[in-house]
Structure 1
Amino acid sequence: FVTPNNRITKSLGLPHEIVKEMFKVKVKVKVKVKVKVKVKVKVKVKVKVKVKIMVKVKVKVKAKVKARVKIKVKAKVKAKVKVKVKVKVKVKVKAKVKVKVKVRTRVKVPNA
């Protein structure tokens, strides 16, 4: 509160308490605080898959080798946080196929 001097009260010709009430100052203070928070989350997912297929086939006639490798990576994120998923998939497939075929034929010819 601003208190006026006695000179002001004498010049106005009013009692001192009324002048005090006239000189009351209203102060309004508005404080706005804005806080922005940015959250960065980096998730690095390294997936190393080593597949070694050793196939030894001993067959007489036919040899069929079927090798299928399926890798499914699904990432579903429901949030207000942005997630960057770096997926590095290295697939090394070494297939060694050894086919040994042993065929022995004996033909007997009658002596004429």
Structure 2
Amino acid sequence: MATTANPAFDTETLRRGIEGQTASTLLSLYADDAEIRIVDHGAQPSHPKILHGREEIGAMLDDVYGRDMTHRLEQCVVQGDRAAYVESCEYADGVRVLAESMISLRDGKIAEQIMIQAWDE
């Protein structure tokens, strides 16, 4: 009896996507119906910013990757159909951002993501 394994989440693509200069590689990791909940100073836990689907997620990523800043994947842990990672960013003027994400995976793609981010003020 043969079994088919679910596709694995590609952490190297995650690194290339986060650290790259465009949003396209990172966007390729999201399922078509993915959802992101973002919690930060402006979108607090009781009213997070919610993005539905690759179109809304892609627009947000295009905005972020259109800014003069660098991104770095600090850590990533994958266990079964869950993953968590830490991303650090720095704007050209020295302002830093730190984001932590917990993601649920489906068929090797990000189906749900909760991101908590903070930045220098």
Which interval holds the TM-score relative to the shorter structure? under 0.3
Q: Judging by fraction of residues, say which structure has more strand.
A: 2
Ranked by relative contact order (alpha carbons within 8 Å, sequence separation 6 or more), the top structure is 1
Q: What's the TM-score, normalizing by structure 2?
A: 0.20
Q: Judging by fraction of residues, say which structure has more helix.
A: 2
Q: What's the TM-score, normalizing by structure 1?
A: 0.22
